[in-house]
Structure 1
Amino acid sequence: MSISTVSRSTMNKYRCHLAIMVLLSLLPLHNACANAEDSAADVLRIALPAAAWGMTQYLDDAEGSTQFYYSFAANIAVTYALKTAIHKNRPDGSDNDAFPSGHTSMAFQGAAFLQRRYGWQYGAPAYALASYVGYSRVNNDHHDSADVLAGALIGIAASYYFAEPFYGVQVTPTSGLNGVGLQLSATW
């Protein structure tokens, strides 16, 4: 069968399978001496963005895929630019790349993308997993709360800036000078 006779959905399935294989091949690369909580955070910082990208492939959402790439690239660029510019020591003393938390920014970028693009049914569990990443980074003395909060905000901001709702009803938390609330929008 030639490449021209393969349907777009079949190609996307192949891409999803390839992405899953690549992700699974990277899992053993985490620090073998790390405890289980560190290992879970290492996996989730990759798995959440991978799930967000995988969702764009599964739904054949080319526009979402492009939005994901921009969001992910912006998140990584801002996070590592700040790590380079701000030499904050880690609580465990291992190095001076504490601010902001890269694990947390990656996890929250993936979670925020899922929520923003596809809704809270995907975003809520993803945010719970991303929160666990932040918690584990503080609990294991790799970061303090400010590092994790900054990482989470960078990840969320990157996804909210680039991603737009895909379909259905979206409920978005809002805040401003007049208070906080929820914004309801529908796309068809």
Structure 2
Amino acid sequence: MCNITIVPRSMCGFRVLVVLLFLSSSLTYGQVTPLTSSQNTHKIAGDVLRGAMPALALSSTFIWKDRQKGTYQFSKALAGTFALMYGLKLITNKERPNGENNNSFPSGHTSVAFASAAFVQKRYGWEFGIPAYLLAGYVGYTRIEANKHDSVDVLAGAAIGVGISYLFTKRYDEEKKLGISSGFIENTPIIGLTYKF
């Protein structure tokens, strides 16, 4: 367990994120049915985005400098997504469409991609959320195209990712640069303007 006096929360969350991503990649065993060139290209793109999307979502918290609150919120959202997703995989024990193993329901790649997209959208707005959701939708498509999941697995993964991210994420409100204040000094009404550089 991280000691907050020694390691900041953001580093603790980052370490948990790295461990969870490593564990999730170790649960795949190998492709049973050979993929076509097109399917393999989509599979590789989906695999890359599964790692890149959470990295970009986490990086966004440093770009906006939102005092580590976003980092902590994203770490909780991703950990919650992993916990629910792997719990459901163990309970349902659904066979993949390609017969590779019994980890089909829900789609982990899709869960992680949609958790990342939902975090970006809810935290920073739709102008960043729309491209993130498009990428997450493509990840879901790649999982169907690679014969790893069916549409039910992908839709469940998307719902889990969005739901858990919405549960833990709050909107980021940038500090106001211009402020107006009013009051009284010695029974004289005053109006003040402040501007933060």
Q: TM-score, normalised by structure 1?
A: 0.71
- Whole-Å separation in 1 of the counterparts to 2:50 and 2:122: 18
Does 2:119 correspond to 1:113? yes
Question: What is the aligned counterpart of 1:125 among 124, 131, 134?
Answer: 131
- Whole-Å separation in 1 of the counterparts to 2:135 and 2:162: 14
- Whole-Å separation in 2 of the counterparts to 1:63 and 1:136: 32
Does 2:159 correspond to 1:159? no
Question: What is the aligned counterpart of 1:76 among 72, 78, 82?
Answer: 82
Letter in 2 for 1:60: K
Residue 114 of structure 1 aligns to a residue whose secondary structure is helix
Map of 2:107 onto structure 1: 101
**What whole-Å deviation, never above 9, does each CA across 1:21-47 have from its counterpart, x for those lacking one?**
x9xxx9xx998x971111100011111
The alpha carbon displacement at 1:72 in A equals: 0.6
Map of 2:50 onto structure 1: 45
Map of 1:63 onto structure 2: 69
Map of 2:190 onto structure 1: none
Q: CA RMSD in A?
A: 2.6
The alpha carbon displacement at 1:89 in A equals: 0.6
- Whole-Å separation in 2 of the counterparts to 1:133 and 1:52: 15
Of Structure 1 and Structure 2, the greater helix share is in 1
- Whole-Å separation in 2 of the counterparts to 1:144 and 1:85: 18
Which ranges of 4 or more aligned residues in structure 1 deviate by more than 2 Å? none
Letter in 1 for 2:51: I
Residue 66 of structure 1 aligns to a residue whose secondary structure is helix
Please list every run of 5 or more consecutive structure 2 residues that lacks an aligned counterpart in the other structure: 1-9, 175-197
Would you say the 8 A contact 2:43–2:145 is kept in 1? no
Does 2:161 correspond to 1:141? no
Letter in 2 for 1:141: N
- Whole-Å separation in 2 of the counterparts to 1:116 and 1:55: 12
- Whole-Å separation in 1 of the counterparts to 2:141 and 2:133: 12
- Whole-Å separation in 2 of the counterparts to 1:66 and 1:95: 33
Q: TM-score, normalised by structure 2?
A: 0.68
**What whole-Å deviation, never above 9, does each CA across 1:92-114 have from its counterpart, x for those lacking one?**
11111000000000000000000
- Whole-Å separation in 2 of the counterparts to 1:84 and 1:75: 14
